[in-house]
Amino acid sequence: MVQAPTKPLTLAEFLELPETKPASEYIDGQIIQKPMPQGKHSLLRGELFTVINKIVEKKRIALALPELRCTFGGRSIVPDIAVFTWNHIPLDEEGDIANVFAANPDWAIEILSPDQSQTKVTNNILHCLNHGCEMGWLLDPAEKSAIAYPAGKQPIFLSEADLVMPTPEFMENFKLTVGELFGWLKPGIV
């Protein structure tokens, strides 16, 4: 849903507004509210960020965070999962994780919701890639397919169950097939 303010807001003015549920994003001067996550979206997001963190968090390689506002390059977006390499995680003055992430994720994962514009979601992934992100994923639960966007390379369409999802270099030990990923949609098959 695009909200048309009475006068165009700047990014700084947008960031002063109260948060919405679901989150709103600031893209090219427009405020666009993300759709409410539904079952398939929520299940994939939860399983994926949990599995990623099991591999990378204890080893201090990276950290996956769900629905995190990332503000960079003139936009404020909320990827379904934002993965930051350990040395790229913003910290506050006490050395704790920051509340405000004025940085691009190193890996942006978006899960398409029903009635969500694939073009707008792809645009956000490309924005991330143009600002230093290593990898983007666009997952489509309805079609049980994915598009991987490796930085500086051609996108890769994946729909066959035995294909392994491409990952960023820092995730070299993470192997997940398309079939395993979308197999999570069947409750109890984790």
Domain ranges of the chain: 37-183
Phi, psi (degrees; rounded to nearest 5) at 72 = -165, 155
Distance CA 51, CA 69 (A): 21
Residue 125: predicted pLDDT: 98
pLDDT at 88 > cutoff 80: yes
Q: For residue 56, what are its two tokens? A: 């990378």
pLDDT in tens, 110-147: 999 988 889 999 999 999 999 999 999 999 999 999 99
pTM score, whole prediction:
0.92
Report whether CATH 3.90.1570.10 matches the domain 37-183: yes
Residue 51, CA distances (Å) to 26, 89, 129, 148, 159 in order:
29, 19, 23, 18, 21
Averaged confidence pLDDT in the chain: 93
Which of 5-9, 77-81, 185-189 is the least confident region?
A: 5-9
Helix and strand tally (H, E) in the chain?
Answer: 4, 11
